[in-house]
Structures are given as C-alpha cells and as structure tokens.
Amino acid sequence: MNEFSILSSLLDNDFYKFIMQNAVIKLFPSTKAKYKFINRGNHSFPKNFAKILKKNLQTMSNLKLSNKERIFLEKNCPYLDSKYLDYLDSYQYNPKEVHIYQYGRNIHIDIEGLWSRTILWEVPLMAIISELYYQLTGAKRISNKKLIFLTKKKIDFYKKLKVYIGEYGTRRRFSYKVHKLVLNILKKKGNSFFMGSSNVHLSHLFSKKPIGTQGHEWIMFHAAKYGFNLADKIAMENWLNLYGKNLKIALSDTYTTPIFFQNFNKKLANLFDGIRHDSGDPYSFITETLNHYKKLKINPYKKKIIFSDNLTPTKIASISSFCKKKINPFFGIGTNFTNDVGVPSLNIVIKMVKATIKKNKWVSVIKLSNIKEKSTGEKKIIFLAKKNLHLL
C-alpha cells in the first residue's frame, strides 16, 4: 500500500453489495444510477480533505480480484455463478465515476454510472472517509490493549445471553486495523455463536462465510420501476428467483413496515427464512412480525429477525429477552464493534438518489424508512410516495 491507500483488497466491502451487483447484472444490466453523500451529523471536514480523498480513490483502480479470493467465493458463495465471478475478475474501480468537491469545511460527493459498476462504491468510500477523517483530525483512540479487553467483555456478555451475532461494521469503522483486530478476537472467542462478518475480505482472511441481506437501494429501484405499492413484493420475488434456497432474509423498512407487511404475503412469508429490522422501535416491530406470521398461520418460532439498527450490548439483551420463546433473534452489530474506541463515530451515509428506467430517463428514488431521520430523497417525491401509500 502506498501513502494514499487505505484499501488493500477489492473484497474490502460488504457482502450484500456483491450479491446485489450480481442481481443487477442479471436483471437490470443497462440501468444507470446516481448516489449522493449525506452528512447527517453535519461534521466539519479538515482543509484539503477532498484532495487527499481523491488520491485514495485513484489507488482503488489498482485493486483486482486475486485467484485466492475467487476460490474463496466459489467455495463459500456457490450461488454466485462463474459468469459473475468472471465479471468481478475483470472489474476495476473507475475514480471518474466519483465527483468530490470541498467548500470550506463541507464535502460534496456524487457518484454516477452504470448501476452494476457504481454499486460497489458506497461502503468502501464511507470506510475511507471515516478513517481519513480520524487521521486528519488527529483523533486519539483507546489502546489496542483496552480495545481487546472491551471486545472480549462484549463477547463474554453475548455468550451468557446465548445470542447469535454477526459483525456489520465496515462503513463506519475507525480504521482497517481496528476492524481487523476486532474480527480476530471474534474469530478466536466467538465459537459457534459468532455467525460471521459482512466484510468479504476479512471473512476470507479469517476463513468465515460472509453474511448479509439486500440493501435498501434494491427496493428503492423497484419502486421507481414498478411503483411504491408493489416495490417490496417484486423486489422479493426477483431476489428469490435469483437466489432460490439461499440468502432468504427480507428487508422490511424501505417504505415503512406496514407497507412491507402488505406485500409480505403467505407465499413470500413461507419462502423467506426471516426479516431484517433496520429502523424504528424494535419491540413494536417484533409484535407486528409475530402478529403477521400468526395471521398467515405460520409458526413464528421457525422464523428469524435480523436486527441491525444501532445495536449495543444493553439493547441486544433487552431485544433478546423480548423475543424469547416467540421468534429467533440474530444481531448484526456495526459501529459498536468497529468504532467503539473512545471517539464519536461519524453519522454519514451514501444513498442512491436517481436511476434510469426507460431510454436513459432519470427518475428520482427515495427511501421512507420507519423514522423520519433515515428517509432520503427529494421532498416532493417523498410527499407523493406517502400520499400514494396512504401514509399522510
């Protein structure tokens, strides 16, 4: 790695980006997408931040899938066919797809290009922004000794709770080194209750199967193409058609949970192993989920809920207790593993804002979420969506 290189592997990214990329190549190969950086925390970026970030992105064009990495994917992700792996073999990041500007202390980032290509930018770009921010602001984290102690303490706590956990912390990690150290401890001490990491590169490094579901952009695009009312349903059907018996967790909050459940009919509820909760009150969500399964005469105790919204040990203990003997909880822990180092974590996101539907015509895409703060997109389209879905 040179002076301006934070990433050392093409697979240093979340698993769901690769499985969505495969889906996009198969079903929507000519679709273009636009993404936008959103600074939710109004963080103030240091002078020359954009310049250094651009230099980092230039080095990403040198990342290539290695033969060992391809073998790892073939062994652990058999549903990713050779045609897709050939595509990934030839894939190179193109920094020209990313436009970065700095005005004073504010950073503006736009990404544009074929959806099948630009889909891989979001997570590593956020990881780089996070790590560079801490480097350039001189942030002082806790020592490795204390980090190891805290991580082991959390693992012991989860062991006593007898809960299943995964690590989802790539995008807001303090640094690659912290991420790697935490994963090493999880691998050594996690035993059977540690399900794995969403980071494909580190999963390869520590010989674990990568884990993940879909991202909101998958359903957001379906809404632009097929309408808000049917987006969840068609997105789930397309997912099942591609992945069959694998990767059967549905994402529940792109257009609010009530709209999701309207689409989550008996056939889909039977075929999917469970649901992911990513926003809103978890206890209300558990109750809604139990009621929905019971209404469809499906035993909820045979299903899962993957929780992934700002999890802490206290929150996990409470949710786990609430789920007991009702439904099976799993926990995807992000920032609390990879950026619990004594400094405030960045509240930043990168979201798809537009996509082409027909003849290169750009259409705005939005996410409503269960809480207002997590909604993204044009206010006018958000209003129209809420009106259309009878959410006003």
53 has pLDDT over 80: yes
303 has pLDDT over 50: yes
198 has pLDDT over 90: yes
- pLDDT band at residue 344, thresholds of 50, 70 and 90? very high
User: For the whole model, what pTM was predicted?
Assistant: 0.96
Question: Residues 359, 361, 365, CA angle at the centre, nearest 5°?
Answer: 130
Taking phi over 0 as left and psi of -120 to 50 as alpha, with beta for the rest, 218 belongs to alpha
321 has pLDDT over 50: yes
* pLDDT above 90 as % of the chain: 94
- pLDDT band at residue 358, thresholds of 50, 70 and 90? confident
Q: pLDDT per residue over 368-391, tens digit each?
A: 988 888 889 999 999 999 999 988
Least confident of 101-110, 170-179, 183-192: 183-192
Question: Residue 329 phi/psi, 5° resolution?
Answer: -90, 145
The token pair at 249 is 């967790």
362 has pLDDT over 80: yes
Question: Residue 53 phi/psi, 5° resolution?
Answer: -60, -45
CB 336 within 8 A of CB 305: no
28 has pLDDT over 80: yes
- pLDDT band at residue 392, thresholds of 50, 70 and 90? confident
- pLDDT band at residue 191, thresholds of 50, 70 and 90? confident
3 has pLDDT over 60: no
Average pLDDT, the chain: 96
Long-range Cβ contacts of 83-87 (<8 Å, 24+ apart): 84/21, 84/22, 84/25, 84/26, 87/25
Q: Amino acid identity of 107?
A: I
Count each helix (H run) and each strand (E run) in the chain, helices first: 17, 11
- pLDDT band at residue 245, thresholds of 50, 70 and 90? confident
3-state class (DSSP) for residue 308:
coil
- pLDDT band at residue 4, thresholds of 50, 70 and 90? low
Which domains are present in the chain? 15-139+346-388 (3.20.140.10), 144-338 (3.20.140.10)
Report the distance separating Cα 115 and Cα 362, nearest Å.
Answer: 12
pLDDT for position 2: 47
322 has pLDDT over 80: yes
pLDDT for position 46: 96
* pLDDT above 70 as % of the chain: 99
Beta carbons within 10 angstroms of residue 320's beta carbon: 17
